[in-house]
């Protein structure tokens, strides 16, 4: 099944009709006949979309939608309100309750399915981010974002070349948001940190549908929600816009209040997904980064080295390994304190990184030990780089205790290169033995150990 949809209506014939249409499109359909039943089902099965009738006895669709959006467990489920009501106030009320769309009966099947495809894609992407968020143990992003963004207007880019319509859009948006205007040639405006793109599909000098497709495929605008402005009754262009990646549709001439509500909903959704994406990126970075020095960690460098050594052992390019150990580091900790030791590690890591070549991979291996993996590098070339690192570290004292106390630091470096038939363990053992030899020979020197 492509997506799971919960249909909520107290009239059995309506439920059966909509269920049949959705199943013909290969959706999995669940049903509920009342508001409380819908809320329980949403929490139990986590549907990808809720299609919700407004006019129900007891708890109406507006209240059900509001409760779904207020519950952290269900707030990310898209909701389409379906009703015979066609009053402006009812539409605004539904959108203000958090509904993602509001369709009036009798609805157009093609229009409904375009919205279903669009909203279920959105839910699937949010689910993926939330699963990664949970694995990274950074829960609470959605709730925290909702608290931070209350009352914040959205930065909107209006793309329209019709003077009167664009001015109406800009005037309406200024009440609650921060709009700016662009034509078909977006230029640097598309690079701005806008949160919602408002695109006219009835522009005179450019194809609005082509703009929607272009924006959706550009890396810098791929994740920015698009609100497409269509002429009343132009259902075909509205459907095509949704299929091309527009997130929402509004009819022209636009209602200012409806425009602001729809933009606010899209901006809130973007802020949530941006926060989730940032949390996921942060988790991935933490998984491969040493938090003190900012270098890669042992797990990451071992994974990289394993592949390179395997390729080298099978006749591929040679790879060299540099192992580094800060001399007399225990004396620094004992004499100046562990805070000073942390300062030394951070500065040492920076000097190490500045002395390496592009493509070299530096990592903190543990304590005061560091490793550098050098792809496509011979042992002799690695020794040249190692000597540059050694001189850089010893050239100037490292200032600790907020820059008040200088500490002289040196490093002993061992170098080993992998060749045919070699293993990761063998290369690292030779580099470690070379470090030990450098220590025995008086420290502050580079020693190479051949296979």
pLDDT the model gives residue 397: 95
**Residue 415, in any domain of the structure:** yes
- Selecting among 149, 368, 369, 425, the annotated active-site residue is 368
> Same domain for 316 and 368?
yes
Domain that residue 259 falls in: 138-285
Domain boundary among 285, 319, 336: 285
pLDDT for position 146: 46
State how far the Cα of 99 lies from the Cα of 88, in Å rounded to an integer: 15
Q: Where are the beta strands (DSSP E) in 119-219?
A: 155-159, 178-182, 196-200
The most distant pair of C-alpha atoms in the chain lies apart, rounded to whole Å, by 90
Residues 393 and 312 placed together within one structural domain of the fold: yes
pLDDT range class, residue 134, cuts 50, 70, 90: low
> Are residue 272 and residue 329 in the same domain, yes or no?
no
How confident is residue 133, by pLDDT bands cut at 50, 70 and 90? Answer: low
Examine residue 103 and state whether it is found in any structural domain, yes or no: yes
**CATH code of residue 272:** 3.40.50.2300
Whether residues 250 and 357 share a domain: the answer is: no
- Indicate whether 279 pLDDT > 80: no
| Percent of the residues in the chain that have a pLDDT greater than 70, as a whole number | 91
pLDDT at residue number 393:
96
Provide the β-strand partners of residue 102: 81
Residue 418 covered by a domain = yes
Query: Which has the higher per-residue pLDDT, 87 or 449?
Result: 449
Residues 437 and 355 in one domain: yes
What strand order describes the sheet that includes 28-32?
28-32, 4-8, 49-53, 79-83, 101-104
CATH code assigned at 427: 3.30.70.270
Using alpha carbons, select from 331, 380, 338, 376 the residue that is nearest to residue 358.
376
User: Is the bond preceding 60 in cis, omega lying within 30 degrees of 0?
Assistant: no
What sign does the dihedral 377-383-386-392 (CA atoms) show?
Answer: negative
Tens of pLDDT, residues 198-246: 999 987 788 999 999 999 988 888 889 999 999 988 888 988 999 999 9
Per the prediction, the chain carries an average pLDDT of 87
Q: Please give the average per-residue pLDDT across 359-388, as a whole number.
A: 95
Indicate if the pLDDT at residue 272 is higher than 60. Answer: yes
Say what the pTM is.
Answer: 0.62
CA distance 235 to 433: 74
Is pLDDT at 138 greater than 70 in this prediction? no
- Give the residue from 103, 129, 155 where a domain finishes: 129
Answer yes or no: do 112 and 167 share one domain.
no
Domain boundary among 72, 106, 129: 129
Q: Is 63 exposed, middle or buried (0-12, 13-18, 19+ CB in 10 A)?
A: middle
For position 72, what pLDDT does the model report?
Answer: 86
pLDDT over 90 at 292, yes or no: yes
User: Across residues 370-382, what is the average pLDDT?
Assistant: 95
Question: Higher confidence at residue 63 or residue 451?
Answer: 63
Total domains, the chain: 3
Of 285 and 240, the structure prediction assigns the larger pLDDT to 240
Report pLDDT digits (tens) over 400-443: 988 889 999 999 999 999 977 889 999 999 999 999 999 999 99
Establish if 292 belongs to a structural domain.
no
Residue 404, number of CB atoms within 10 A of its CB:
7
For 119-123, 146-150, 373-377, 410-414, which range has the lowest pLDDT when averaged over its residues? Answer: 146-150
Are residues 443 and 314 part of one domain? Answer: yes
Q: What one-character-per-residue DSSP string does 150-190 give?
A: TTPPPEEEEE---HHHHHHHHHHHHTTSEEEEE-SS-GGGG
Residue 291 in any domain: the answer is no
pLDDT score for 173: 94
Output DSSP code: residue 392: H
| pLDDT at position 118 over 90 | no
Q: Tell me whether residue 354 is one of the annotated catalytic residues.
A: no
Residues 349 and 266 in one domain: no
- Rounded to the nearest 10 degrees, the angle between the axes of helix 298-313 and helix 256-288 is 70
Across 63-72, 232-241, 274-283, 334-343, least confident range: 274-283
| 314 and 270 share one domain | no
**Domain co-membership, 153 together with 261:** yes
């Amino acid at each position: 099944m492509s997506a799971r949809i919960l249909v909520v209506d107290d009239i059995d014939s309506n439920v059966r009709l909509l269920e049949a249409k959705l199943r013909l499109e290969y959706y999995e359909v669940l049903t509920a006949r009342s508001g409380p039943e819908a809320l329980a089902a949403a929490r139990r099965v986590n549907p990808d979309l809720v299609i919700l009738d407004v006019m129900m006895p007891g708890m109406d669709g507006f209240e059900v939608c509001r409760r779904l959006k207020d519950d952290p467990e269900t707030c990310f489920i898209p909701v389409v309100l379906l009703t015979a009501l066609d009053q402006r106030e009812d539409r605004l009320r539904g959108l203000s309750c958090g509904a993602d769309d509001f369709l009036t009966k009798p609805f157009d099947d093609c229009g409904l399915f375009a919205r279903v495809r669009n909203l279920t894609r959105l839910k699937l992407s949010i689910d993926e981010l939330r699963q990664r968020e949970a694995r990274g143990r950074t829960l609470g992003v959605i709730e925290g974002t909702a608290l931070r963004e209350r009352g914040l207007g959205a930065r909107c880019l209006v793309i329209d070349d019709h003077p009167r319509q664009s001015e109406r859009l800009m005037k309406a948006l200024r009440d609650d948001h921060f709009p700016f205007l662009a034509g078909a040639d977006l230029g640097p405006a598309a690079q701005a940190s806008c949160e919602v793109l408002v695109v006219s599909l009835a522009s005179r000098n450019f194809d609005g549908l082509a703009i929607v497709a272009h924006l959706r495929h550009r890396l810098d605008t791929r994740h920015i929600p698009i609100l497409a402005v269509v002429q009343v009754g132009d259902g075909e262009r509205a459907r095509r816009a949704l299929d091309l990646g527009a997130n929402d549709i509004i009819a022209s001439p636009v209602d200012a209040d409806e425009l602001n509500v729809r933009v606010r909903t899209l901006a809130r959704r973007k802020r949530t997904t941006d926060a989730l994406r940032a949390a996921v990126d942060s988790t991935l970075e933490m998984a491969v980064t040493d938090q003190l020095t900012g270098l890669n960690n042992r797990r990451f460098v071992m994974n990289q080295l394993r592949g390179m050594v395997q390729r080298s052992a099978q006749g591929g390019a040679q790879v060299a390994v540099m192992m580094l150990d800060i001399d007399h580091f225990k004396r620094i900790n004992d004499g100046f304190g562990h805070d000073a030791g942390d300062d030394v590690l951070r500065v040492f890591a920076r000097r190490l990184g500045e002395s390496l070549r592009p493509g070299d991979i530096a990592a903190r291996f543990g304590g005061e030990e560091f490793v550098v993996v050098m792809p496509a590098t011979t042992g002799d070339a690695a020794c040249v780089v190692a000597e540059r690192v050694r001189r850089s570290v010893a050239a100037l004292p490292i200032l600790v205790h907020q820059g008040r106390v200088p500490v002289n630091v040196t490093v002993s470096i061992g170098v080993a290169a992998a060749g045919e038939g070699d293993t990761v363990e063998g290369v690292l053992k030779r580099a470690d033995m070379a470090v030990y030899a450098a220590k025995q020979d008086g420290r502050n020197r580079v020693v190479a150990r051949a296979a």
